[in-house]
Amino acid sequence: MTTRNDHSMVAKVDIASFEIEVLKSAKPVLVNFSMKGCAPCERIAPFLEEIATELAGKVKIVKLDIVENPELAAQYGVRWAPGLAIFKGGEVADIAAPKTELRSWISQMIQTAKETR
């Protein structure tokens, strides 16, 4: 099922609508793997709405609850929320995992700090 609030540009998808809305989409789709009660998920939601508005017609942005749809989360290797993935032509083009990126950023900062001492 695909749902959308009247004021939202970001549709909510589930296992039943994922194939049509994401895999068979003619344009690229950004999937926000999210979950209820996730503070980081709620913090990025307004930015995703802005991007959906700015890039309307060029990209589709959807939200998938990983607790309600664990099989899709597992299929795409999403273990935490938020997780962002871009799908093009039915395939994952790229996955942005904030936790992984944060870990990398912290490691780079630690390395930089060691080099400047």
What single DSSP character describes residue 111?
Answer: H
Which tokens is 15 given? 């296992």
Q: Are 72 and 15 in contact, with CB atoms under 8 Å apart? A: yes
* Cβ-based neighbour number of residue 14 at 10 Å: 16
Q: Is 38 a catalytic residue?
A: yes
Q: Which residue has the tokens 């994952």?
A: 92
Q: Are strands 60-65 and 29-34 parallel, antiparallel or unpaired?
A: parallel
Q: Are 41 and 81 in contact, with CB atoms under 8 Å apart? A: yes
Q: Is 44 a catalytic residue?
A: no
- From 41, 48, 78, 81, active-site residue: 41
- From 14, 15, 17, 38, active-site residue: 38
Q: What positions carry a catalytic annotation?
A: 38, 41
